[in-house]
Structure 1
Amino acid sequence: MLRLGSVNYDVRGKIAILTLDEPEKLNALTAGIRAGIREGLQRADKDDGIRVSIITGAGGKAFCAGADIGTFDFDPEKARAFFIDAMEVLSAPERALKPVIAAVNGIAYGGGFELAIASDFILAAESARFAVPEIKLGLLPGFAIVRLQDIVGRAKAKEMSMLGDPVNAADASRLGIVSRVVPDERLLSDAIAFAERIASQPRLAVQMAKSFYNRGLGGDETRHAIDGFPFLLTHADAREGINAFLEKRAPRFENG
């Protein structure tokens, strides 16, 4: 097993398993986890012996809790640089040449949810929960704002983004977010079994199928999201929402 940033990289036959490993932070998208995701998927793509990657979270409570909010910087230029880096990481499963499976244990909120939906398939433990809760910070999701409506429909995407309420695994399956729901104790074994089935198919045909279905992704709409995020971060509501979160209190928004 290799340690890439804060991600454990393990190879089981033709499968690469990337385990986000900062459970004390609920596997939030720290610099170490972002670096590990990027490096791990690049390593899998370059390894001719690897056919499929799995991303999961350590600790059982969280797949990934999203952004490391304590590190946010309100300076617009720094915020834009952070968001460019974050969008590159969140879209990495989409851009990977080989299929990526998100094995979601526990919460997948914000950037964690976005990392999951950027993957080709999501297998969810029965305890999994999904949300884009950025609205509670006076913000909006970045990657999900340009992908979610294609998965759940425009009205449901608006509801999830405007309310920020979590969706359980069963409802996520009904909405088409999740490919299948499995018992918690079988999550990784079922994900590996699913990955092995994909790995047994013709390599080039599988990679071309991913490429064809993902055609057109990653265009102007992602650049609009990158430009919009720093603007929201400069608003008083965002400052209040983030400060309230860090201080563990209810936010008092200007219009609330």
Structure 2
Amino acid sequence: MDLLRRHEGSVEILTLNRPDQRNALSPGLITELSLALRDCLDDDGVRAVVLTGAGDRAFCAGMDLKAFAARSDPSGPQSDDTHFRMFSHGEYPKPVIGAANATAVAGGFELLLNCDVVVASDKARFGVPEVKRGLFAAGGGITLPGRIPLAIALELGLTGDLIDAERACALGLVNSVVPAEDVVGVALEFARRIGENGPLGVLATKKLMRLAFTDGVTAARAAQAAEHPKVFESEDALEGARAFAEKRTPQWKGR
């Protein structure tokens, strides 16, 4: 299997499982990942997703160009990548924590850019080297100027050079840098902490913050008007207040 799936409590762990190919994104892996993201979205028991890679050579080396070049009929039936594209466009509703076990480049780095929280190995390096192959970073790299200073984004995009995990963290592209053996554990802890919170509030927070990032605060404020009654008038909102008053753990229902 190109993708491994494991469930721990309210967290689904998805592992890109092509270590000999540096976990490159083949059509088969994209399909498996897309379907797994769909299943996680449909499962109310999944509060957060952890995305990592197998082995110690790479988190993901980006698109598997050999696999795509080998397709006999590029115009024929395409794989089901609906939820993969949703994630790649920053529109996936549930929280996703990236666990960069090793280096992530090109589309692999862009996968991490679309995660909500990223934990990185201290040995990992990151970058968008597409220009070195005559391409450009079409999977999310062009959003870098919204994340980091323009001069730094252009440095990464125009040179195609890689940066280490410490610099990525200093720039705010990853949240935490830890030894490689601790990456998944720390990512799981982030996911568990998120999963302890009210699911409606978590979903609305992600949606509105990402909208403010992509479309601006005005658009987020307009969308907030629709989210407010769904969250603030929910059973969970009342449960949260009661649990606080009664000094107990809330029992969320997601409604």
Scaled to the shorter chain, the TM-score interval is 0.7 to 0.9
- How many angstroms does 1:90 deviate by? 5.5
**Which residue in 1 is equivalent to 2:178?**
182
Q: TM-score, normalised by structure 2?
A: 0.76
CA deviation vs aligned residue, 1:150-195 (integer Å, no higher than 9, x gap): 1112211111011111111000001110011111111111111111
Report percent identity of matched pairs.
35
**Which residue in 2 is equivalent to 1:196?**
192
Cα distance between partner residues in 2 of 1:34 and 1:188: 21
- How many angstroms does 1:202 deviate by? 1.0
1:133 and 2:120 aligned: no
Cα distance between partner residues in 2 of 1:87 and 1:146: 21
Cα distance between partner residues in 2 of 1:153 and 1:210: 23
Cα distance between partner residues in 2 of 1:156 and 1:181: 20
Look at both structures and tell me which one has the larger radius of gyration over its CA atoms. 2
Cα distance between partner residues in 1 of 2:83 and 2:193: 29
1:7 and 2:17 aligned: no
CA deviation vs aligned residue, 1:45-73 (integer Å, no higher than 9, x gap): 11111100000000121110001122354
Aligned CA-pair RMSD: 2.7
The 3-state SS of whatever aligns with 1:103 is strand
1:33 and 2:29 aligned: yes
- How many angstroms does 1:129 deviate by? 0.9
Q: 1:205 aligns with which of 201, 207, 210?
A: 201
Q: 1:92 aligns with which of 87, 94, 98?
A: 87
**Which residue in 1 is equivalent to 2:42?**
46
1:165 and 2:170 aligned: no
- How many angstroms does 1:144 deviate by? 2.8
Cα distance between partner residues in 2 of 1:168 and 1:139: 22
Partners of 2:35 and 2:80 within 8 A in 1: no
CA deviation vs aligned residue, 1:30-88 (integer Å, no higher than 9, x gap): 112111221111111111111000000001211100011223549xx959x99x98897
Partners of 2:48 and 2:195 within 8 A in 1: yes
**Which residue in 2 is equivalent to 1:16?**
12
Cα distance between partner residues in 1 of 2:80 and 2:123: 30
Q: Which moved more, 1:208-217 or 1:131-140?
A: 208-217
CA deviation vs aligned residue, 1:92-136 (integer Å, no higher than 9, x gap): 162222100010011100000001101111110111110101111
Cα distance between partner residues in 2 of 1:135 and 1:184: 29
Cα distance between partner residues in 1 of 2:31 and 2:129: 24
Cα distance between partner residues in 1 of 2:81 and 2:93: 19
The 3-state SS of whatever aligns with 1:11 is strand
Q: TM-score, normalised by structure 1?
A: 0.76
Q: Which moved more, 1:199-208 or 1:90-99?
A: 90-99
Cα distance between partner residues in 1 of 2:82 and 2:158: 21
Closer, same or farther: CA 130–87 of 1 in aligned 2, 3 Å: farther
Given residue 102 of structure 1, which amino acid in structure 2 is its aligned partner? G
Given residue 155 of structure 2, which amino acid in structure 1 is its aligned partner? E
Instruction: Give the gaps of 5 or more residues in structure 1.
Output: 220-256
Partners of 1:101 and 1:119 within 8 A in 2: yes
Closer, same or farther: CA 136–102 of 1 in aligned 2, 3 Å: same
RCO higher in structure (CA 8 A, sep ≥6):
1
Closer, same or farther: CA 107–72 of 1 in aligned 2, 3 Å: same
